[in-house]
Amino acid sequence: MNDIVANDKLGAFCRHTHVESMGAASGPLAGLTFAAKDIYDVAGAKTGFGNPDWLATHEPAARTAPSVQMLLDAGAHLVGKAHTEEMAWSLTGENFHYGTPVNVNAPGRVPGGSSSGSAAAVAGGLVDFALGSDTGGSVRLPASYCGILGIRPTHGRIPLDGVAPLAPSFDTCGWFARDADVFERVGRVLLRDDAPARSPRRLLVARDAFAFADPGAAEALEPGLDKVSALAGAREAVTAGGEPLAAWLECFRSMQGAEAWAAHGEWVTRVKPRFGPAIQGRFEWARDIPPGDVARARARREEIARRMDEMLRDDAVLAVPSAPGIAVPCRSAPQLVEHARNHALPILCIAGLARLPQVSLPLATLEGCPLGLSLIAARGNDTMLLALASRAAR
């Protein structure tokens, strides 16, 4: 075990699934270090998925996930596996079995989940960048809570072979970094895109998304909006949803739950794993989602995607809060956690439903804690977002 993992005081790394691998001697990421969320396979090592029973009932990986291999081939050194919420299905980062990684930029508060260890390792300076995953917000929310850069790419843009699924039609491979240049360089490797990035032509501000922001959060994000506007064009207020975003959230929840049960229901039924209370409740709910609700949600999703495609045509960018507010305190009452979740997911589900790329920028603070501003672009405009984020973060 290397010194970084052995001396980890943040609880970011997995000791029970530790693996490391040297990258190529040269390449665009040579000399950089990274962590991989413990849902990514590395040949010869087990993938823990945040749950001891998953770890005990699965064999070591036969091959390394292509996304991890691309980074190694580009010269980056894998330091270790980073903690995840169990089954990658939560937003706080408090794992029932393995604890909560430390959020160095908001002491005493959660790092956000489910990519909690990856975000904590980057924010704490343990690695240069880290792989996470984003289904319903698991990169974007931790990036906001920890005050770092994070991106959910266009759905399907980066291969997810060798990555434990949650809801495959929403799952994406995302990443975190503190440094804007590193953030963009990693993206160029994973997206396999060296073409010059286009420039945004319009900045749209989603007033219905900002309506979910906590008191003071929207005001705190104003300077960030001004900064982005100077790079992307004059602001225009819009309504992202043709109906309340809470209705979009119900569409997302039905599909996510049904897909999670389809992916893991057989294992849950057979193994009867020990879950934390929140995850146990989610799988019990997912088991009984009516098929008719799922079918209606799938049809509605395509209508939502068409709406967003039209809104973001001609290289427009949509601004939304990355989170409704700052991270909640560790071990908060369930009611407070559920309140934060119910205000975050209507914002976060926009990009997921429409399969869009979204980047979170650390452009604000509130009560001394980080707060992110997010930018959403049309499908395939990932490098445009990366370049814009790089300029704004500098």
pLDDT of residue 242: 86
Domain coverage including residue 139: 1-394
Q: Which of 21, 67, 90, 114 is catalytic?
A: 114
The pLDDT of 90-108, averaged and rounded, is: 98
Predicted confidence (pLDDT) per residue in 5-39, tens digit: 999 999 999 999 999 999 999 999 999 999 999 99
pLDDT confidence of 394, banded at 50, 70, 90? Answer: confident
Predicted confidence (pLDDT) per residue in 193-207, tens digit: 999 999 999 999 999
Predicted confidence (pLDDT) per residue in 277-300, tens digit: 999 999 999 999 999 999 999 999
State yes or no: is 37 an active-site residue: yes
List the CATH number of the domain containing 104: 3.90.1300.10
Q: Which of 138, 144, 360, 374 is catalytic?
A: 138
The pLDDT of 298-327, averaged and rounded, is: 98
The pLDDT of 122-132, averaged and rounded, is: 98
Q: Which of 37, 81, 133, 374 is catalytic?
A: 37
State yes or no: is 229 an active-site residue: no
What rounded mean pLDDT belongs to the chain? 97
Domain count, the chain: 1
The pLDDT of 105-111, averaged and rounded, is: 98
**pTM of the prediction?**
0.98
The pLDDT of 254-264, averaged and rounded, is: 98
State yes or no: is 81 an active-site residue: no
Rg over CA atoms, the chain: 19
- For residue 57, pLDDT over 90 is answered with yes
